[in-house]
A and B are shown apart, each in its own frame.
Chain A
């Protein structure tokens, strides 16, 4: 089946940039998502990108997509302690269920 891979942990200092990486295997992926999950809570959609885009920026968030390498990244500028959470990458071909990665736990050190 299709697979989405992420590194499990990332630790950054407050004020630095965080870069969370994700790779996927489904070449027909049309939509790629980043979700944030805070402790004991559901998922919050942060942003998504269509596969025909290379980059999307939304305030402190920048998503980069390398479709050739099937690599997606999420950059959080000026990382704050409130950004500490688990970040899930997910992909869909548009008419298939979302496939999630295992999540990257971001720890922000004050």
Chain B
């Protein structure tokens, strides 16, 4: 149980286009989903926290107009990278916290999406 999927697993796009990444909790409902960014040989950096039905909370330095997050249901959150540029190329990982769980202490991670912007 507690499986989180991401789609797509890899995406290559041209500079200036927008890319949408989906994060789904497959066998549980998630009150909270987190989006992370991971650069090569670097740690995971939390980008934003999203709660179903409310606006996402962005970490300092993350542009909310560039990284649009929608958490429309208890099993789906999407991250849209708008007007992507090569510096947005990275590995994006989401995680989800089951209903009735302590938000930060029980996170199940997706497999990640590798974004390459040409």
Contact = CB atoms under 8 A, between A and B. Distances in A.
Contacts of B42: 102
* Contact count band on A: 20 to 34
B112 A94 contact: no
B104 A96 contact: yes
Interface residues of B, number: 23
Contacts, number: 53
Interface string B86-104: 0000000101000000111
A47 interface: no
Contacts of B43: 4, 88, 100-103
B44 A43 contact: yes
B84 to A, nearest CB: 20
21 contacts: A35-B109, A40-B114, A41-B112, A42-B6, A42-B93, A42-B109, A43-B93, A43-B95, A45-B109, A88-B44, A92-B104, A94-B105, A96-B104, A97-B49, A97-B59, A97-B104, A98-B104, A98-B107, A100-B43, A102-B42, A103-B43
B34 interface: yes
B111 to A, nearest CB: 4
B109 A44 contact: yes
Interface of B: 4, 6, 34, 41-44, 46, 49, 59, 93, 95, 102-105, 107-112, 114
